[in-house]
C-alpha cells in the first residue's frame, strides 16, 4: 500500500499528511476525519511538524524557476476547507469521499451475498481491493490472516476481535502480524469500508472455518 510499513492509525495518518497513500486509503482516512472531526487536530499537528522539518532543509537553486512559478500561479485554487457541519449537510449515508470513489450511496450499492448474513460490494482501484461490507448483527467472519495490509473503517454498528472493539469512525489496521476473527456486535448490522493491498488467507480449525462459512 505504501513503501514503508503501516501498523498503527498514527502511522497511517502520517502517510496521509505526507501524501504517500494510494487513493482508496486516502479516501478511507478522509471519511474517518468526516466521522470523527476531532481527529483533524492530529492532522494539523502532523502538518505543523512536516512544515518545521521543511524549514530545516538547506535552500537549493530551482531549475527553470520561471516555468515552475508560472505553473504554480496558473494552478487551481485549493479546495475550500469545509467544516463537519457542511459535510453532514451533504445528504447521504456514506461519507462523501466514499460516495465519490465508488459511485454509490448505501441504498444503491449493488450488494452480492458472499456468506449467510454477509453482503459485499468490491472493486479494484489504484491497485487495491476496495470493499463495502454489510455484516448481520452477531455474525462472525471467518478467522483470517493477511498477506499485506488491510484497512477497515467502521461506518455503522461495530465489530470486536482479539484486539478490542471498533465502532463508528474507528479504523482497524491489520498487517501480516494480525490473525483475527471479526464478530459484528449484537443489536444492529455492522457496515464497513475496507481497503486491501493483498489477499487474505483463512486460518483456524477446519471445524471453525466451516461453521463461520455457513453462519
More confidently predicted of 144 and 78: 144
Residue 167 pLDDT class (50, 70, 90 cuts): very high
What tens digit of pLDDT does each residue of 47-61 get?
676 554 445 666 666
Binned at pLDDT 50, 70 and 90, residue 41 comes out as confident
pLDDT at 215: 78
Distance CA 16, CA 9 (A): 10
Q: List the grid coordinates of 112.
A: 452480492
Q: Cell numbers at residue 159, please?
A: 465489530
Predicted local confidence at residue 65, as pLDDT: 62
Asked if residues 157 and 189 have their Cβ atoms less than 8 Å apart, the reply is yes
User: Model's pTM, two decimal places?
Assistant: 0.79
Q: What's the pLDDT at 88?
A: 44
The answer, yes or no, to whether residue 35 has pLDDT greater than 80, is yes
Amino acid at each position: 500500500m505504501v513503501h514503508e510499513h503501516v501498523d498503527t492509525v498514527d502511522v497511517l495518518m502520517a502517510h496521509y499528511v505526507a501524501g504517500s497513500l494510494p487513493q482508496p486509503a486516502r479516501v478511507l482516512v478522509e471519511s474517518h476525519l468526516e466521522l470523527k472531526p476531532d481527529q483533524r487536530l492530529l492532522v494539523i499537528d502532523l502538518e505543523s511538524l512536516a512544515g518545521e522539518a521543511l524549514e530545516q532543509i538547506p535552500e537549493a537553486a530551482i531549475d527553470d524557476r520561471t516555468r515552475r512559478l508560472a505553473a504554480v500561479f496558473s494552478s487551481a485554487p485549493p479546495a475550500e476547507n469545509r467544516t463537519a457541519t457542511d459535510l453532514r449537510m451533504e445528504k447521504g449515508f456514506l461519507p462523501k469521499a466514499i460516495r465519490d470513489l465508488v459511485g454509490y450511496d448505501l441504498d444503491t450499492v449493488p450488494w452480492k451475498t458472499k456468506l449467510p448474513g454477509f453482503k459485499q460490494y468490491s472493486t479494484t482501484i489504484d491497485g487495491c481491493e476496495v470493499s463495502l461490507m454489510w455484516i448481520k448483527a452477531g455474525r462472525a467472519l471467518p478467522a483470517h490472516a493477511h498477506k499485506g495490509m488491510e484497512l477497515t473503517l467502521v461506518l455503522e454498528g461495530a465489530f470486536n476481535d482479539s484486539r478490542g472493539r471498533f465502532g463508528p469512525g474507528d479504523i482497524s489496521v491489520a498487517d501480516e502480524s494480525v490473525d483475527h476473527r471479526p464478530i459484528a456486535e449484537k443489536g444492529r448490522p455492522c457496515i464497513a469500508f475496507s481497503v486491501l493491498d493483498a489477499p487474505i488467507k483463512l486460518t483456524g480449525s477446519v471445524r471453525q472455518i466451516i461453521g463461520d462459512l455457513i453462519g
